Structure 1
């Protein structure tokens, strides 16, 4: 049995006490004085990550995927989706087959297809060469091949066949996200009505809001969906992060990294979906047009930035762990420090830097 003391961040509260772990599960969480100054939070859950530590998820390479997952685990991410970018169908098939065993082994929590069913006008750093209209035939084949590994698909709801594809995903138990979209407010709400439950990196890759055409940003914030937020202070100004997080509330906001292979690496030139990316002073941008191309963010830094922006610690932790776990249908297993859940936790210093990481009751060495 292992006993971890400190300021325990539980749903809606921070209490001094101890987390007792027995095997892979949390046995109990009890309030007690004298437990120390460390901050103990549930393991982070990242719904949207393309790589890190010099490794990428975007090519279907298994060893590279393992490396990316291990890098982010060191920063407290105990569950993550491997996110592809817009790709040819054959690459999507190859990556799905390659990553299915990783999902079954728990190395990753599953896969996220960020594209190719996206708006050409709002494609951002997505490769326009690979964009196409949603295909239920493609999705059906990938879901069958993945055997439960496909967990999230981003779709622009204004595209032909998009609403049908979103409804199909809902029927298959796969979360659909609205993103990289030039949709109107009404088209966004139609996507939500069809079954979308997530907004992909709110504000980024979207028609900007206007008081006479609210667009997808306001449509998503005013709908019962979870809005992803990239809290790197590059994609979103801290004031906008605070506004969005407070408007959505911790039950409807999820911190993500949108990290690429350059995360944790030196400035330089990298590749994303066959496009050249230059990283300088933490910011990643496409060479061809200067578009922001993912991030160099980790979830522990996202948590620090969110708290610094004025969001309470308990609320920020919910956004980093509890809410994204619920998006994946895993809220009864991970995402909180409660008895009976899997013992995924992170011990942070008082200034929110990672000291130790535990996954399934075992410390990361």
Structure 2
């Protein structure tokens, strides 16, 4: 695999044992898909002429999205091989270099079949965004907070169901409601199996969420959406997500799911724990029209997120690079905004080799322009989108 040398007018760097910071200018060198050097200023002349010299914008770690239901017209749970090819090869356009395809609520047998189908096609995918595993968002959710999920298929997390879903080894993240029967035992089982558990679509109290964290839960799915919130006498999921240092609140920062000032509250209350996600549906990256989420129709309007027929929000049309840009535009500092879409989700999912620019990390990189949109993306040191400069 070829070497890679990039110089940038501004670069995010995460040296071992030190906080993430911005270097202006900076350079990064990779060999065989792994970063071997990252430093401030211009690279030593002995390294030769840079392959890319980025005069504007920001060189950042590749973005990591833990919640992608679909994109570019394809719903991941039932996409065929061509659909997976499209999503994996085109997500680098949004700066995403690693993601968790997300399967929403369906009968356990249907989800298990989708997992087996994904397992069989993964070896044949083209170069592009890494598939880190699968996020199961349901079916162990609250019917009171189902959002766009089909209530008919919601169920308790019984041991047999868990065993069926874990069979392929693809499941890396499970969203569940901790108030369901057997949920705390399920959290322990999933955690022992190396699966990250996220509290979501839940009518739980803050105390019930704390008990879930005691059992091993480490994330909260799309904070403030489809969950109990902040009430001064009846604290719910969102309160515990903000005050519990063990929990990383996922945030859909399209400025529709959560208002700007509330998004700012999340960043202020949970420093270093916020995970930016898209919750993208198949309509993301597509023109207005009718698409699918979990086998049911959704409508993508000209403005705003996709909707069910009853007006319920049904995922988003958000790009993760736009989420980073939105965070910066509402006043979040650049390092914090980028960390929330790179280092924090990578660490949460157990991939410290991703989401950072540091020696030993994978050479997954994105050049974000002044508008914070991806201009060029590299995975394993290979250019998978854009031409650089």
Q: Above 0.5 in TM-score?
A: yes
- 1:340 is matched with 360
**Pairwise CA distance, 1:97:** 0.9
CA separation in 2, counterparts of 1:63 and 1:175?
29
Instruction: Assess if the C-alpha contact under 8 Å between 1:61 and 1:95 holds in 2.
Output: no
Tell me if 1:65 matches 2:84: yes
- 2:283 is matched with 262
Of 276, 296, 301, which aligns to 2:297? 276
CA separation in 2, counterparts of 1:5 and 1:75?
21
CA separation in 1, counterparts of 2:365 and 2:161?
37
**Pairwise CA distance, 1:66:** 2.7
Instruction: Assess if the C-alpha contact under 8 Å between 1:151 and 1:174 holds in 2.
Output: yes
Q: TM-score w.r.t. structure 1 length?
A: 0.95
Structure 1: tracts of 5 or more residues without a match: none
CA separation in 1, counterparts of 2:79 and 2:183?
25
**Pairwise CA distance, 1:351:** 2.4
- 2:50 is matched with none
Of 7, 32, 39, which aligns to 1:5? 7
- Runs of 4+ that moved beyond 4 A: 101-107
**Pairwise CA distance, 1:137:** 1.3
Aligned-partner SS, 2:285: coil
Of 236, 255, 269, which aligns to 1:215? 236
CA separation in 1, counterparts of 2:29 and 2:334?
22
Aligned-partner SS, 1:252: coil
Between 1:52-61 and 1:173-182, the stretch displaced more is: 52-61
Aligned-residue CA RMSD (Å) = 1.6
**Pairwise CA distance, 1:209:** 1.6
Listed as ranges, the matches of 1:149-188 within 5 Å are 149-188=170-209
Q: Which has the larger radius of gyration?
A: 2
Listed as ranges, the matches of 1:227-242 within 5 Å are 227-242=249-264
Aligned-partner SS, 1:74: helix
Of 98, 113, 129, which aligns to 1:79? 98
Structure 2: tracts of 5 or more residues without a match: 15-19, 43-52
Instruction: Assess if the C-alpha contact under 8 Å between 1:199 and 1:227 holds in 2.
Output: yes
Instruction: Assess if the C-alpha contact under 8 Å between 2:93 and 2:375 holds in 1.
Output: no
Between 1:68-77 and 1:193-202, the stretch displaced more is: 68-77
Distance 1:120 1:172, change over 3 A: same
Q: How many aligned positions are there?
A: 360
Instruction: Give per-residue Cα distances to partners, 1:84-129, cap 9 Å, x unaligned.
Output: 0101122111111122245567741100000000000100001111
CA separation in 2, counterparts of 1:325 and 1:133?
29
Distance 1:328 1:103, change over 3 A: farther
Q: TM-score w.r.t. structure 2 length?
A: 0.89
